[in-house]
């Protein structure tokens, strides 16, 4: 417990020191992206677990695990794409440009 508290305090102190030296670096935008990604991750986990539980009753454990991982990943990417996360939009546009050149 003491190590965790120490790490949190050190992180806060380093953050304050970094902010004084560098200035504002868009903490509000980073926080908004973090919350959106957190929501997408929770939704992905819930759907993947539900998919696994349903498929486990019908097919083998390994195959249901592989399918539920795929479904979870697909749900995650769809959700973060529609949440209009700036980093994801940048990545998608870069991939589109790469495929458009070829």
What is the tens place of the pLDDT at every residue in 25-79? 777 888 888 899 899 999 999 999 999 999 888 888 889 999 999 999 999 989 9
For residue 44, give every residue at least 6 positions away whose Cβ sits within 8 Å of its Cβ, in sequence order, or none.
72, 73, 75, 76, 79
Structure confidence at residue 70 (pLDDT)? 94
Structure confidence at residue 50 (pLDDT)? 93
Residue pair 37/85 in contact (Cβ under 8 Å)? The answer is: yes
- Residue indicated by tokens 């120490």: 6
Comparing CA positions, the residue from 44, 39, 38, 32 lying closest to residue 85 is 32
Structure confidence at residue 102 (pLDDT)? 61
CA distance 67 to 72: 9
Look up the pTM and report it. Answer: 0.68
| Mean pLDDT value across residues 76-92 | 86
């Amino acid at each position: 417990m003491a190590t965790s508290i120490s790490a949190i305090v050190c992180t806060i102190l380093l953050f304050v020191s970094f902010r004084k030296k560098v200035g504002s670096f868009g903490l509000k935008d980073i926080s908004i992206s973090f919350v959106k990604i957190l929501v997408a991750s929770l939704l992905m986990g819930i759907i993947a677990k539900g998919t696994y539980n349903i498929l486990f009753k019908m097919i083998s454990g390994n195959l249901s695990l592989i399918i539920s991982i795929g479904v979870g990943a697909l749900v995650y990417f769809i959700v973060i794409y529609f949440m209009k996360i700036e980093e994801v939009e940048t990545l998608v546009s870069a991939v589109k440009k790469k495929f458009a050149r070829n």
